[in-house]
Structure 1
Amino acid sequence: MKRFFQPIQKDGSSKKPALSTQAENEEDERESGDDGHGKEPSKFLTWNANSLLLRAKNNWPEFSKLVATLDPDIIAIQEVRMPAAGSKGASKNQGELKDDTNASRDEKKVLMRALSSAPFGNYRVWWSLSDSKYAGTALLVKKCFKPKKISFSLDPAAKKHEPDGRLILAEFESLRFINTYVPNNGWKEEESSFIRRRKWDKKMLELILQLSDKPLIWCGDLNVSHEDIDVSHPEFFATAKMNGYIPPNKEDCGQPGFTMSERKRFGTMLREGKLIDAYRFLHKEKDMECGFSWSGNPVGKYRGKRMRIDYFLVSEKLKDRIVSCKMHGHGIELEGFCGSDHCPVSLELAPSSPDVKPNEASN
């Protein structure tokens, strides 16, 4: 969801940052002599940054403090909004940041300097980016953990990235982790909205079922509030419309993310994919102060209107290991949101039993 921001200020520093690339990730592994394959991450953080560059410029101390305190093994970022590498008119490299113009080089330096500072220097970074300053995801994994495989498509066998860089899938020895920025449903029945979202949900369910041989953690901005308890004002969101448009199918009516059609499909994914909503598993009651991950603009009709659209979903076989799942922002003034309109959400799992071998975790 969108929010107006201040203009980007010119960064005057000429210091060259350390750039985290796929090649440097591999070099780090060779130098460390530790492949990290047998280690299992147990602490996770997800955040829709609503422009990671703006957050690096304006809100990095706050976010850095949170990361240092929580010490997550994996950080999943959505809405990076940094363009993929590649000149105008040429094919893009969605795994690298654009740096072929003075402006893009300056922006890359600002962002990579932030990601090279403590505590982020302890992480490897993978990108999946859009062609323009839109959407995009990033995955930060502590260097002591080595994914067996990283992919970027709803088809795990495909080498290409999803359009707009909406997915990163990391496979570890005993589990898989998916970071997604799910497309917004939109307000009207058109190719860029309802239809696109239905296609995404169908393919996502197919992917979840394909990956059922190992426990799964799926997180990110999933752009849906499953139940009435997941929004601050159910009636407001259920009847919301833009420019007076009313979809012909009543199940498509309402605020994107709270239409009955989306909520039913989400329920199907949970049920058929045998997934648990970690936050709701621990928090059964509605919490008007801390129970929502997205908050409307403090000015205007959306003031105080909030939704829980950022999730950690885990395989049912992991539910007994859920220690905590917390939202780190609260209130209609967006305290703890680190400058975004989404707050960071964390998940912690208890360590797996030392008596269970990695290949037995999925049985």
Structure 2
Amino acid sequence: MKFVSWNVNGLRASLNKGFLDYFKETDADIFCVQETKLQEGQINLDLGESYEQYWNYAVKKGYSGTAIFTRIRPLSVRYGMEEDFESEGRIITLEFEHFYFITVYTPNAKRDLSRLEERLVWEDRFRHYLQQLDKQKPVIACGDLNVAHQEIDIKNAKSNHGNSGFTKEEREKMTNLLDAGFIDTYRHLYPERTDIYSWWSNMPGVRARNVGWRIDYFIASARLASSITDAQIDCDILGSDHCPITLTITS
């Protein structure tokens, strides 16, 4: 089975930059996007009859939002964590026979860290949510987690210590998640690979010089480790300030 995750930073804009070409080329079983920046009815996305579409819209217009396109019909669908109403459209959970699949767009702590405390509460809730699901069946969670976990995951680690997405607190929360029985699938396969990133600032020349951050992940229950056959970061795919990431597992 092949999975794809991509923060498109506005799906309508991404459609004008080759999104559908990449979608068709990857031929994924499940393809999910974050930061759709859409309201219901603002797009009619024709992906063919083989894909079912699930959308979680933010209440605020032009903000956040997630979607999953799947060839496999889920047993159940949940929007948000637990049974809460989640107004920013950040999480969708699909239940399948043998696993749960979650796409997530983690809140940014903001440049001035004004949302850091809220972000840390979110991290604890999200870890607990995945742990509860993992008690029932294995979990695959993916998306923009808005954190570079280790120094190997960011180009300029020294100058970014303490900045949003690379604070000690955010990185520790990612460590806590992995210590709770989950793996970073890319690092599982490529523990020492450097200069591979999934997000670049829009400042001129930054992406061309590959001054990036790896903040998009596939996280999986540790017991799925032996099923992972491939994990990639498609750095050459444009259309967003993020690039797509992929995961392939034996079905």
> Which interval holds the TM-score relative to the shorter structure?
over 0.9
User: Residues 141, 161 of structure 1: CA spacing in aligned structure 2 closer, same or farther, 3 A cutoff?
Assistant: farther
2:123 alignment partner, one of 167, 176, 201? 201
Instruction: Give distance in 2, aligned partners of 1:121 and 1:237.
Output: 45
- State the alpha-carbon separation in 1 of the partners of residues 3 and 113 from structure 2: 36
The structure where strand makes up a greater share of residues is 2
Give the number of the structure whose residues are more often helix, by fraction.
1
Q: What's the CA shift for 1:279?
A: 0.5
| Aligned: 1:130 with 2:58 | yes
Equivalent position of 2:21 in the other structure: 65
Q: RMSD over aligned Cα, in angstroms?
A: 1.7
Aligned match of 1:170: 94
Task: Say which structure, 1 or 2, has more relative contact order (CA 8 Å, 6+ apart).
Answer: 2
Contact 1:128 1:161 in 2 (8 A): no
The answer on 1:151 being equivalent to 2:78 is yes
The separation in 2 between residues aligned to 1:298 and 1:185, in whole angstroms, is 20
Question: What SS does the aligned partner of 1:127 have?
Answer: strand
2:182 paired residue number: 275
Match of 2:204 among 299, 304, 322: 299
Corresponding position of 1:264: 172
How many Å separate the matches in 1 of 2:112 and 2:120? 13
SS in 2 for 1:122: coil
Out of 233, 242, 246, the position equivalent to 1:342 is 242
Whether the aligned pair in 2 keeps the contact of 1:149 and 1:172 (CA below 8 Å) is yes
Q: TM-score, normalized by length of structure 2? A: 0.93
- Computing the radius of gyration over CA atoms, which structure comes out larger, 1 or 2? 1
Note closer, same or farther for the CA distance 1:258–1:189 as it changes in structure 2 (3 Å cut). closer
- In structure 1, the partner of 2:233 is 327
Shift in Å, 1:219: 0.2
Q: CA deviation at 1:209?
A: 1.5
**1:311 lines up with 2:217 in the alignment:** yes
Q: Which amino acid aligns with 2:73?
A: K
- For 2:85 and 2:229, how far apart are their aligned partners in 1? 33
String of CA shifts for 1:85-121, please: whole Å, max 9, x gaps: xxxxxxxxxxxx14xxxxxxxxx2xx31xx215xx44
Q: 1:139 and 2:96 equivalent?
A: no
State yes or no: 1:186 paired with 2:87: no
Q: Which residue, out of 34, 42, 54, partners 2:13? A: 54
Q: What is the number of equivalent residue pairs in this alignment? A: 248
Q: Indicate the SS of the match to 2:38.
A: coil
The alpha-carbon deviation at position 161 of structure 1 amounts to 3.9
Structure 2: any 5+ residue segments left out of the alignment?
A: none
> Residue by residue, what CA displacement relative to the aligned partner does 1:229-271 show, whole Å, maximum 9, x if unpaired?
0011111211xxxxxxxxxxxxxxx221111110001100111
